[in-house]
A = this chain, B = another copy of it.
Amino acid sequence: MASKTLRIVPLGGLGEIGKNMMAIEYGDNVLIVDSGIMFPENDMLGIDYIIPDFRYLDDKRELVRGIVITHGHEDHTGAISHVLEAFNVPVYATELTMGLLEVKLTRSGMLKGADLRKVQAGDRLPIGPFQVEFFHVSHSIPDSVGLGIDTPAGLLVMTGDYKFDHTPVDGWPTDFGKLGEFAGRDVLALLADSTNADTPGWTPSEAVIDPAFDKVFQEAPGRILIGSFASLISRMQQAANAAMRHGRKMAFVGMSMVENAKMARRLGYLKVPDEQIVSLDQSLSMDPSKVVLMCTGTQGEPSSVLARLSTGANRQFDLQPGDTVVMSSHPIPGNEEMVHRTINRIFQRGANVIYAPIAPVHVSGHASQEEMKLMIQLVRPKFLIPVHGELRHLKQHAALAEGVGMPADHIAVVENGRVIEFEDGKMSIGERVPGGYVFVDGAGVGDVGPMVIREREALSRDGFVTVQLHLDPASGELRDEPVIISKGFVFIHDADELFARAKGLIHKTAASSNGSDLSQKVEGELRKFFHAETGRRPMIIVLTAEDA
């Protein structure tokens, strides 16, 4: 009977960093874990962001019992509006995570219809046939949880994003006791974070940032600007603590930074007394050595505060000599160039920049190799499914597990869309289901596919040339001059002679043609001509106009 099979269906996050989403299926019941987005890679031209492809659930809409979100980062929450649009089921999350989800659902106008159910670490509740137990993990955002999911086929443990930080900012380490307790209950499978699987050792504690901040605060002659993610609530707390220690007031800059700080303070996850906080406007008239600005923009995103400051395009204020900018995050893979360019430009404006590895002003929120081994030893699962990571990370995670004694055939390295099945305590690799990218571009969700991306790629390389031919309908012969318009191909002001010769070629082609297929012939001739002359291959569009 199929209903005795537990199916794990990875819809996102396996074989990539980002857009985490997993379906857990037993009988006529589906539980969704996380609903994240991924940021486009450099060659996904024009794409705003990417959501998981959850078409697999299209004919199982009625079976979805709930959505659990493990923590408040974009790669676990960002697609929540898209997912809730498809399945209007209860959403379970801890308080801070829920606060961040509410900000999102308010923006998309979906807050009102959503069934949001707050949980806390330690809670255990039934969702369909699953008993879901939330346990605390330390990560770079407070209130993160992993999940113990008791299913009729056995106990699953999902770590979520985690590290074993003994001195986290909120003083709440990962719940070792609960992991040990799970081990005592016989864990069928562990689904564990692989993000840093090629990083040796143990990820440094968030605590190493405090002395690094202290050094910056002691030496900075003027304003301090700390750049970080708007969702890195722990880092905001560390910056606020340093500000208090060094007699500086703090202002939040950038819409998402302001919104998240407000929400986190309201809920008690960011502890800063009112008198410690000033508005940006107030800060600008204060003694610079008494000010800390908490800004977005450590990824060099052009619209962020730091990027605008680096190019002098910020409206409210400018960088000034004496400013010290702290880049308190690592570049997301693919963003290195933009991040470094932002750093260089800030130096050009006369400010100083502190960034890793110059000083330890950022640490990863994910476990490194030694922690991943410890997780396996603590939980002692029968099977391991490495999750959250590119294929290389999943492979390294598997190698580490083999290194600590797990049999290779008890480890499943799969990518999105490959179903893993458990029945009678055995694991097998099942069918393949959709698990690719769904591109969001403006208002369009999924309408931009490989064909459009290929066209954009060709246009980005060599631009295009549009040619209008005016034909005599009776003879099919060319009348008047052809019109040539090009963009992204050559600098127009230098191209008069090139286009004059192209027009000559069109006339010649028309003269030697018997009238049929003229536009196709012109296209072919121009293709050869432009490549010979420029070494480039612009897209060529030939339009013909005939008199009716």
| Contact surface of A with B, Cβ cutoff 8 Å | 15, 41-42, 45-46, 198-200, 333-334, 336-337, 340-341, 343-344, 347-348, 353, 355, 357-358, 390-392, 395-396, 415, 441-444, 447-449, 451-452, 455-464, 466, 468, 470, 479-480, 483, 485, 487-491, 494, 531, 533-536, 539, 541, 543, 545, 547-548
Contacts and interface: CB of A to CB of B under 8 A. Distances in A.
Contacts of A489: 452
Given A447-B494, A494-B447, A535-B443, A543 B45 contact: no
A145 B340 CA distance: 29
Given A46-B536, A344-B390, 16 more contacts: A333-B336, A442-B534, A442-B536, A443-B536, A444-B536, A447-B491, A447-B494, A455-B488, A456-B460, A459-B488, A460-B460, A468-B543, A485-B541, A487-B539, A487-B541, A545-B545
Main secondary structure of the interface of A (DSSP, over half): mixed
Contact of A199 (B355, B357, B441): B357
A343 B391 CA distance: 9
A334 B333 contact: no
A212 to B, nearest CB: 14
A442 B538 CA distance: 12
Copies assembled: 2
A409 to B, nearest CB: 16
A172 to B, nearest CB: 30
Contact of A480 (B199, B452, B548): B548
Contacts of A459: 456, 459-460, 463-464, 487-488
9 contacts: A198-B358, A333-B340, A340-B392, A443-B536, A452-B489, A456-B460, A464-B464, A468-B545, A543-B543
B391 A344 contact: yes
